[in-house]
Amino acid sequence: MASPRRCSPTAPDRECKLPPPSAPAGEYPPGKLSWGTLARALGRFTLSIPHTRLLATLDPLALDREPPPQLSPEKQQMPEKLIWGDQEPLSKIPFKILSGHEHAVSTCHFCVDDTKLLSGSHDCTVKLWDAVDGSVVRDFEHRPKAPVVECSITADSSRVIAASYDKTVRAWDLETGKLLWKVRYDTFIVSCKFSPDGKYVVSGFDVDHGICIMDAENITTVSVIKDHHTRSITSCCFDPDSQRVASVSLDRCIKIWDVTSQATLLTITKAHSNAISNCCFTFSGHFLCTSSWDKNLKIWNVHTGEFRNRGACVTLMQGHEGSVSSCHFARDSSFLISGGFDRTVAIWDVAEGYRKLSLKGHNDWVMDVAISNNKKWILSASKDRTMRLWNIEEIDEIPLVIKYKKAMGLKVKQCERCDRPFSIFKSDTSSEVFTQCVFCRIDTRGLPAETSSSSSLERENSPRPTGNKSN
C-alpha cells in the first residue's frame, strides 16, 4: 500500500490524507452515517432495541431529547470543603465536580504524573484541567468541527490526540497547545489510542468496520484493515508492548492484530451476549477486560493457545443495572473500574471478581472512566456535561465496604503461584480457589494439559449467593 504524503510538524494547517481521499471538512456524504454513529454522537454507545426495556427511564434512543439545563453560576461554584460522593450514609467517598464543557463529556484521562486531567466532549473541545483546583488550564485550539469521541495521551504526557466525527484525528503538543498534525479519513472514526511507546496511533472505523495503524512520528500508514469486524468498531487499544491491537465491536467479537506480522492472532466470537462497548489490557498484557451492553464485564486470558477461539475468562456480574460503557484497570491490576448507563461507577475487586463499591452522583450516563497511577483517584466523564474526581485512598476503611466484606465472608490469602494477595470466601471448598488468585486460575484453565472441569469455571462465573446485589 502506498503511504500518504507526510505532514510537517511545523505546518499544522496542512492535511495528511490517507487513501482514499475524503469529503471536505464538515460534509458528511449521504448514506454514510450509520445508526450506530448517530446514536454515539449523543451518548457514545446506545442500547439495542430489545435492551431498552432495561433502562426505559434513560431512553437512549430518544435522539431529540433536550440536553439538561445549565446550572446557575451559583450552583457551578465549587465549595471549599470536600463534597461527599455517594449519598448513602455508609459509603461516603469525597469527590470534586469539574464543570466546563457545554455538552456530554465523552473521554477522560489522568496525565502529567496525575497533576493534570484531559477531557474531550461533544461540544467539539479538548480541555486540559488542573487536578488540584479543578480549573481549565487549556482549550486546545484548531478544534474539531464535530463532537470529540475519544482522546489519548502519550505515556510521557507530551502529545495529545483526539478523534472526532468530522472524520479527523488531530495531535497537539500538551505543553504548548500547538497543533502538530491532522489526518483526515474518508469514514467516521469512533476510537483512537496512542501505543504505550508513543510510536503508533490506532484508529477504529464505524462504516468500514476496520482499524488503521499509523506511525505517529512521520504520519504514515502502517496498516489499514478494512472489514476487520462484521459491524462497527466500538473500541480499540494497544497492549503494553505496543505490538498488538485489541478491537471490539457491535458484532460481539474480540480480535487481536499483530503489528509486526500484519495478521490476526486471536479471534473470540460471541464473546458477550450483546454488543461489546470497550476493552483494556492489564499492564502485563496477559489479560484483556471487555465491557458490554449485556451488563457484564469479562476478563480474558489472551494467551490461551488451543483455546484462544473460545477463551478462558472470568465474568464480572451484578455491578451495573444497565449496559456497561467503559472499563479501566489499575496499574497493578489490583482493582478494575467500570462506568455504565445506570449513571454509576463500579469498583471491582479483581482478585475475587465482586463489586467492591458503587459510586453514585452523576445525573446521566457515565461515558468513560480512568484511574490515577497512584491508585488514589478515579475520574469519570458523563453525559451530564461534568467530570467527577473521586478520592478512593481510604476505600477499605469505608464502613459500607467493611460491612460488605463481612457479609460475604471474605478473607485475604496469598497466591501460591504469583504471591499476589487475594480475597476468598470462607464458604468455598475448592483447594484451587483457596490457593490461587483469579489470574492464575484463568492461566490454569487456559492450558490444554491442565484444563479444569467445566463445572469449576461455571462456578466462578456464577453470581455469589450473598452480598452481590445492586444497591
3-class DSSP assignment, residue 172:
strand
**CA atoms of 319 and 337, how far apart (whole Å):** 10
Tens digit of each residue's pLDDT (9 = 90 or more) over 157-189 = 999 999 999 999 999 999 999 999 999 999 999
In DSSP notation, 133-151 reads T--EEEE-SS--SS-EEEE
Q: Is the pLDDT reported for residue 257 higher than 50?
A: yes
Cβ atoms < 10 Å from Cβ of 363: 11
Tens digit of each residue's pLDDT (9 = 90 or more) over 95-150 = 999 999 999 999 999 999 999 999 999 999 999 999 999 999 999 999 999 999 99
Q: What is the per-residue pLDDT for 443?
A: 65
What are the start and end residues of each CATH 2.130.10.10 domain in the chain?
A: 95-397
CB 376 within 8 A of CB 337: no
Query: What does pLDDT average to over the chain?
Result: 77
Q: What is the per-residue pLDDT for 425?
A: 54
CB 326 within 8 A of CB 339: yes
Tens digit of each residue's pLDDT (9 = 90 or more) over 279-297 = 999 998 999 999 999 999 9
Q: What is the per-residue pLDDT for 311?
A: 55
**Mean per-residue pLDDT, 13-31:** 44
pTM as predicted: 0.71
**CA atoms of 23 and 295, how far apart (whole Å):** 37
How many Å is the Cα radius of gyration of the chain?
A: 22
Strands 116-121 and 126-130: antiparallel
CB 320 within 8 A of CB 346: yes
Q: What is the per-residue pLDDT for 415?
A: 76
- Nearest-CA neighbor of 360 among 138, 81, 85? 85
- The CATH fold assigned to 95-397 is Methylamine Dehydrogenase; Chain H (2.130.10)
Cell 493534570 belongs to 116
Query: Which of 55-64, 82-91, 308-317, 341-350 is the least confident region?
Result: 55-64
Strands 148-153 and 136-139: unpaired
How would residue 421 be classed by pLDDT, with cut points 50, 70 and 90? low
CB 95 within 8 A of CB 81: no
CB contact set of 330 (below 8 Å; sequence gap of 6+):
336, 337, 371, 375
**CA atoms of 51 and 65, how far apart (whole Å):** 19
Name the percent of the chain lying above pLDDT 70: 65
How would residue 324 be classed by pLDDT, with cut points 50, 70 and 90? very high
Q: What is the per-residue pLDDT for 318?
A: 87
Q: Is the pLDDT reported for residue 342 higher than 90?
A: yes
**CA atoms of 63 and 40, how far apart (whole Å):** 10
**CA atoms of 265 and 244, how far apart (whole Å):** 9
Amino acid identity, position 40: R
